[in-house]
Structure 1
Amino acid sequence: MIHRNLEHDIYKQVARHMSLYYQGTPYHFDPAGVHTTSRYYRSLYKTINPESGYPDLTVFQRSHPKFGDYIGLMIEIKEPGVTIKKRDGSLVADPHIRDQAAWIQKLNAKGYFACFAAGWPSVQEVLDTYLRGEASIPIEF
């Protein structure tokens, strides 16, 4: 049975959205977010990037002035329905989410806008608001 990775589907939606609405805006996905069965590539990635939790998507563009004054956008993409925080506002106990949250804090302290976004609508909202200063351009498929 093949497991479908919903995060990968969101990556494809991001790529399409960027090509339709933000041509010329450079962006890059971290290859750690693309799961591989290759032990060699997993080992290599861990060797050259020993600190886990780096966000999935980097957009190399200053924020729209209505959004704020940030030097770049970093999004940790999650499947729809993934719980990141408990009802009391604290992080869930998952060590991987805690590593990702630590990266987000470091990046925010350096002038980036970094965040979690679960599901395509949330990712699209962050992208459009950050890049245009307004929310949700209707996507065409």
Structure 2
Amino acid sequence: MGDSFTGLCLSQRDKPENGTLPKPSLSAWPSSVVPPKSRVTLRCWSPTKNVKFAFKKGGTYEGNPAPLQHQNPAESTAEFSLLMVTVNDTGIYTCVYHQHEAPFWASTLSNTLEILVTAPQFRGIDSSRILPVY
């Protein structure tokens, strides 16, 4: 009987205080500043395994469209790749994760990560000789 109470106490102690799980971390590889037509991989890491991740463009939930992608990896890291990026991929990204089963606690949003797709470079053009058009 004492063992069952010990297990109950441990699970109660490990429970998130306000129904949220620890914040995940978000990183970009190879960099958060990339040229057009390259690939960027966003990695979201949580201290918890077997959770569902969501990647979002934008820094908050309010007014944002649905997540860009959901993933259910067995480990504690999920990856989302932006292929052949364009300047339209420039923006603020974030991730979140939640439990698969009740009570379905979710983490707070990760810190935001800005992806910057640089403007294309034109070779062989002397930009100092380009005059504005009025």
Give TM-score, length-normalised by structure 1: 0.23
Greater C-alpha Rg = 2
Select the structure that is richer in strand: 2
The structure richer in helix per residue is 1
**TM-score calculated relative to the size of structure 2:** 0.23
Higher relative contact order at CA 8 Å, sep ≥6: structure 1 or structure 2? Answer: 2
